[in-house]
C-alpha cells in the first residue's frame, strides 16, 4: 500500500470552490492519499447536519425517551432529556468535526494519530459494523415510510431496492449531494417539519407519565448515543470544510436544532398513536395532506443511508487506501440493501435500543480519548496520520476503561451472559445505580481522566506534525 502523506490531508484549500479545467465541480478524492477539496462553508455544513438531524428513525426513536424501564416519562421529562442529550451529544460531534477540519483526514484515518495505523484498524472495524447497521436500519425505515404513504403493506422489497439504488448513486458524488441538500432539500424538509408541528400540536396529546422523572438520565443517554453515532463519521465530511470554525458551528447548530425538533415531534406523534412506534407515520398521514409532506421526508431520508454507506467506504479506505471509493460504495450499497431485504421491521424494533446503547458505550469514551489527546496531549504538536504512523497501544487503555465504566452503569443487552457478568460485578462491589449515574457522562469522564493521566507517559508528540491549524 502506498504511504499516505500527512501533508496531503491538511491542505487548507480556502478561497473559491475549486473546479476542474472542464468547469465541473471538484469531487471528493477517489483514494485516500489525495488532498480533500475544501468546498464546504458554514451554510453547507449547517444544511448537511440539519438534514442528518431529521430522520424517520428519529421520529420513532422517541420511544427510547418516552418509555424507560417499562414506565413512561412525563412529557416535560422526555422533552428535557431530548434537549439535554442532544446538546451534550452534539457538543461531542462538534469536537470531532473540528478535529476533522483541522487534520483534513477522514475519520478513521484521523485515528492513526491517536492509536497508530495498525491499532486504528480496531475502531475502524467497529465503525464499519456500526455504519452498516445504521444503513440497514435506514432502508428498513424508508421502506416502512413509503408503505405508509402508498397505503399498502406490500411492495416492501421494491421500496428497499429503490432506496438502496438512490443511496448508492449519491455516494458517487458526495460533495454534489451535499450541495443539493444545501440548496433545495433543507428548505423542503423545514417546510414539512413546520407543517407537521402545527398540525399535530393543535390536536393535543395525552401525558400518561405525568410527573414521572424516574429514568430521565437513561433517556438522556439514549439521545446522546444517537448524536454520538455520528462522531466517527464527522471528519469524513468536515475534512472538506473551509474553516475549522465553520465545521464546529455548522455541525453543532445544524444537528442540535434538527435532532431536538425531530425527537420532540416524534414524541408528540408517538403519544397520539398510543405509544406504538410502528404507528408514528400514521399520525403524520392522519393530518390534511400529511402524505405529501411525509413523502418529502421519506425521499429525503436517503441522505441518512447515503452518509452511512459513504462513511463505511471511507472507513474501509483506512484499511485499503488505494481502492477506488466508488467501487467500495457500490459493494457496500449492495450489501446494505440485501441485508435490509432480509431483516423484518419487527426484528428492527427488537434490536434497536440495544444497538443504541452499544454505540454509546463504544464511541462516547473514544471521543473523550480523541479530544483529550488531540488538545492536551500528542495532538498539540500535530498527529502523524501517515500510513506508517507508529503504534500507541497505551491509548487503548483509557478507551477500554471508559467502555467498562459505561457497561458497569448500564450493561448493554447484547447477550444474557454479558449482562449477567456486569450485574454480578455490581453485586460483588455492593454498587446500586442511582438516578444521577449517567452511563454516557461517567464513561466519558473516566476515559478523559485516564487519557489525561497518560499524557505524561505517552509524551506530547506522536510523530510528524500533520494538522492545519
Q: What is the pLDDT of residue 326?
A: 94
Which among 260, 258, 213, 214 has a CA at the least distance from the CA of 83? 260
Q: For residue 225, is it within any domain?
A: yes
Q: What is the pLDDT of residue 7?
A: 40
What are the two backbone dihedrals, phi and then psi, of residue 241, each rounded to the nearest 5 degrees? -70, 145
Instruction: Name the burial class of residue 358, with classes exposed (0-12), middle (13-18) and buried (19+) by CB atoms within 10 angstroms of its CB.
Output: buried
Q: For residue 399, is it within any domain?
A: no
Q: For residue 412, is it within any domain?
A: no
Q: For residue 116, is it within any domain?
A: yes
Residue 202 CA to residue 196 CA, distance in Å, equals 10
Give the CATH number of the domain where residue 48 resides.
Answer: 1.10.4160.10
Q: Count of domains in the chain? A: 1
Instruction: Name the burial class of residue 336, with classes exposed (0-12), middle (13-18) and buried (19+) by CB atoms within 10 angstroms of its CB.
Output: buried
Residue 467 CA to residue 102 CA, distance in Å, equals 6
- What phi-psi label fits residue 211: left (phi over 0), alpha (psi between -120 and 50 degrees) or beta? left
Q: For residue 409, is it within any domain?
A: no
The answer to whether 432 and 348 have CB atoms below 8 angstroms apart is: no
Q: For residue 432, is it within any domain?
A: no
Q: What is the pLDDT of residue 15?
A: 41
Q: What is the pTM of this model?
A: 0.87
The answer to whether 139 and 282 have CB atoms below 8 angstroms apart is: no
Which among 367, 347, 381, 400 has a CA at the least distance from the CA of 462? 381
H/E stretch holding 151: none
Q: List, in sequence order, the alpha helices (H) in 104-243.
A: 107-110, 112-115, 121-150, 156-172, 174-180, 186-203, 216-228, 231-238
Which among 223, 296, 232, 230 has a CA at the least distance from the CA of 266? 223
Host domain of residue 105: 42-352
The answer to whether 303 and 102 have CB atoms below 8 angstroms apart is: no
Residue 221 CA to residue 233 CA, distance in Å, equals 19
Q: For residue 29, is it within any domain?
A: no
Residue 278 CA to residue 268 CA, distance in Å, equals 14
Positive or negative, the Cα torsion across 371, 121, 252, 383? positive
Residue whose cell numbers read 400518561:
208
Q: For residue 421, is it within any domain?
A: no
Q: List the pLDDT tens digit at each of the 469 positions of the chain.
A: 333 344 446 544 444 444 444 445 688 999 998 889 999 999 999 999 999 999 998 898 898 898 887 788 999 999 999 999 999 999 999 999 999 999 999 999 999 999 999 999 999 999 999 899 889 989 998 998 999 999 888 899 999 999 999 999 999 999 998 888 888 888 999 999 999 999 999 999 999 888 889 889 889 988 998 888 899 999 999 999 999 999 999 999 999 999 999 999 999 999 998 888 888 999 999 999 999 999 999 999 999 999 999 999 999 999 999 999 999 999 999 999 999 998 876 665 566 667 777 888 899 999 999 999 999 998 888 888 988 999 999 999 999 999 999 999 988 877 889 999 999 999 999 988 776 778 888 999 999 999 999 987 765 544 544 443 3
Residue 301 CA to residue 164 CA, distance in Å, equals 11
Amino acid at each position: 500500500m502506498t504511504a499516505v502523506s500527512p501533508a496531503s490531508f491538511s491542505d487548507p484549500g480556502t478561497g473559491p470552490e475549486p473546479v476542474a479545467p472542464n468547469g465541473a465541480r471538484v469531487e471528493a478524492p477517489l483514494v485516500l492519499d489525495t488532498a480533500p477539496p475544501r468546498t464546504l462553508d458554514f451554510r453547507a455544513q449547517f444544511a448537511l447536519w440539519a438534514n442528518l438531524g431529521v430522520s424517520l428513525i428519529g421520529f420513532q426513536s422517541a420511544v427510547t425517551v418516552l418509555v424507560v424501564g417499562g414506565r413512561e416519562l412525563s412529557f416535560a421529562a422526555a422533552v428535557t432529556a431530548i434537549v439535554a442529550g442532544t446538546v451534550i451529544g452534539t457538543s461531542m460531534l462538534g469536537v470531532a468535526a473540528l478535529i476533522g477540519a483541522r487534520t483534513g483526514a477522514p475519520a478513521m484515518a484521523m485515528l492513526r494519530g491517536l492509536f497508530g495505523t495498525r491499532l486504528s484498524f480496531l475502531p475502524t472495524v467497529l465503525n464499519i459494523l456500526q455504519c452498516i447497521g445504521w444503513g440497514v436500519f435506514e432502508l428498513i425505515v424508508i421502506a416502512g415510510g413509503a408503505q405508509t404513504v402508498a397505503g399498502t403493506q406490500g411492495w416492501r422489497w421494491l421500496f428497499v431496492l429503490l432506496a438502496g439504488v438512490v443511496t448508492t448513486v449519491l455516494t458517487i458524488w458526495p460533495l454534489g449531494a451535499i450541495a443539493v441538500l444545501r440548496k433545495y432539500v433543507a428548505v423542503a424538509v423545514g417546510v414539512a417539519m413546520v407543517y407537521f408541528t402545527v398540525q399535530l400540536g393543535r390536536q393535543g396529546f395525552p401525558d400518561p407519565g405525568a410527573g414521572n422523572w424516574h429514568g430521565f438520565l437513561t433517556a438522556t443517554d439514549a439521545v446522546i448515543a444517537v448524536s454520538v453515532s455520528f462522531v466517527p463519521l464527522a471528519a469524513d465530511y468536515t475534512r472538506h470544510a473551509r474553516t475549522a470554525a465553520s465545521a464546529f458551528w455548522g455541525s453543532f447548530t445544524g444537528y442540535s436544532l434538527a435532532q431536538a425538533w425531530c425527537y420532540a415531534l416524534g414524541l408528540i406523534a408517538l403519544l397520539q398513536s398510543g405509544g406504538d412506534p410502528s404507528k408514528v407515520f400514521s399520525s403524520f398521514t392522519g393530518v390534511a395532506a400529511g402524505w405529501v409532506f411525509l413523502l418529502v421526508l421519506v425521499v429525503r431520508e436517503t441522505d441518512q443511508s447515503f452518509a452511512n454507506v459513504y462513511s463505511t467506504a471511507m472507513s474501509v479506505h483506512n484499511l485499503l487506501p488505494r481502492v477506488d471509493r466508488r467501487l467500495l460504495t457500490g459493494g457496500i450499497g449492495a450489501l446494505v440493501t440485501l441485508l435490509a431485504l432480509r431483516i423484518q421491521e419487527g426484528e428492527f424494533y427488537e434490536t434497536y435500543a440495544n444497538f443504541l446503547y452499544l454505540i454509546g458505550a463504544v464511541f462516547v469514551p473514544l471521543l473523550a480519548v480523541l479530544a483529550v489527546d488531540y488538545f492536551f496531549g500528542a495532538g498539540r504538536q500535530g498527529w502523524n496520520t501517515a500510513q506508517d504512523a507508529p503504534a500507541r497501544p497505551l491509548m487503548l487503555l483509557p478507551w477500554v476503561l471508559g467502555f467498562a465504566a459505561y457497561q458497569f452503569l448500564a450493561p448493554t443487552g447484547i447477550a444474557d451472559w454479558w449482562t449477567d457478568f456486569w450485574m454480578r460485578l455490581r453485586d460483588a462491589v455492593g454498587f446500586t445505580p442511582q438516578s444521577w449515574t449517567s452511563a454516557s457522562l461517567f464513561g466519558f469522564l473516566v476515559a478523559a481522566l485516564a487519557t489525561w493521566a497518560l499524557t505524561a507517559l505517552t509524551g506530547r508528540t506522536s510523530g510528524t506534525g500533520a494538522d492545519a491549524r
